């Protein structure tokens, strides 16, 4: 049987970025500790997991400070084509949209995720030129602390609200959903990134969620 391909489309927490001490901090967890690889190990050889995590990636917004290339909407069509056929896309975005520089409510962040969902569900990047399946993962809510606290001022409350919006979006779209805040928390060093335990917990939680998307393949 050909392995099913899962595209993990996310930001620095999919990239495996460690909690940052300064803006120049580029430390990253080793491959085996990043959640896409944890998930891949839990799922087994029936799945090929592709990690596409870009630090600073937003849902659909060009970042006026870090650059237009941070927009997920710019990158997603390219990645769907380059990795086709893709059986499942896991969208885990929204955290960087919480930055104070964007000044948008949680409902608008969810609309950005919905725009990405449209891009996936109308594509022909899946098997037999059909659309891939989709799983929306609500990111772990942030806390405003450390040197990133000012950058994300007001984001903690929005992050908590975002989970409900994304749950509703998944229901409306009839796609998979995972509430990652229910299984993990952020590292209090910077309030944004995940620790090793959280990476592991998320990997296992998403493996379980994938098993619900492909029940005949769940082992």
* pLDDT for residue 170: 98
Where is 121: in which H helix or E strand?
A: helix 106-121
Q: How far apart are CA 90 and CA 166, in angstroms?
A: 13
Say if 90 falls within a structural domain: yes
> Mean pLDDT over residues 128-151, rounded?
97
Alpha carbon distance 134, 156 (integer Å): 26
pLDDT of residue 1: 62
The sign of the dihedral angle between the CA atoms of 16, 18, 19, 25 is: negative
> Is position 110 within any domain?
yes
pTM for the full model?
0.95
Can you give the pLDDT at residue 215? 84
- Residue 108: its H or E element: helix 106-121
Per-residue pLDDT at 172 exceeds 60: yes
Domain total of the chain = 1
Does a structural domain hold residue 175? Answer: yes
The residue segments making up the domain with residue 198 are 4-213
Structural domain contains residue 130: yes
CATH assignment at residue 113: 3.40.50.1110
Check pLDDT > 90 for residue 120. Answer: yes
In a domain, 218, yes or no: no
219, part of any domain: no
């Amino acid at each position: 049987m050909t392995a099913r391909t899962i595209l993990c489309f996310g930001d620095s927490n999919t990239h495996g970025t460690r909690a940052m001490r300064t803006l120049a901090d580029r430390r990253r967890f080793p491959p085996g500790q990043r959640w896409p690889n944890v998930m891949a190990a839990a799922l087994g050889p029936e799945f090929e997991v592709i990690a596409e995590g870009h630090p600073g990636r937003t849902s659909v917004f060009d970042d006026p400070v870090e650059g237009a290339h941070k927009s997920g909407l710019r990158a997603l069509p390219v990645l769907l084509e380059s990795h086709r056929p893709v059986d499942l896309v896991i969208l885990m975005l929204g955290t960087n949209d919480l930055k104070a520089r964007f000044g948008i409510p949680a409902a608008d962040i969810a609309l950005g995720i919905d725009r990405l969902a449209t891009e996936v569900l109308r594509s022909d990047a899946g098997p037999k030129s059909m659309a891939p399946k989709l799983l929306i993962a609500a990111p772990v809510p942030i806390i405003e602390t450390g040197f990133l606290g000012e950058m994300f001022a007001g984001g903690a409350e929005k992050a908590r609200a975002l989970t409900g919006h994304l749950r509703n979006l998944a229901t409306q779209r009839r796609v998979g959903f995972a509430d990652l805040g229910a299984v993990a928390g952020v590292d209090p060093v910077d309030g944004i990134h995940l620790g090793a335990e959280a990476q592991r917990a998320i990997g296992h939680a998403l493996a379980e969620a994938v098993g619900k998307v492909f029940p005949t393949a769940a082992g």
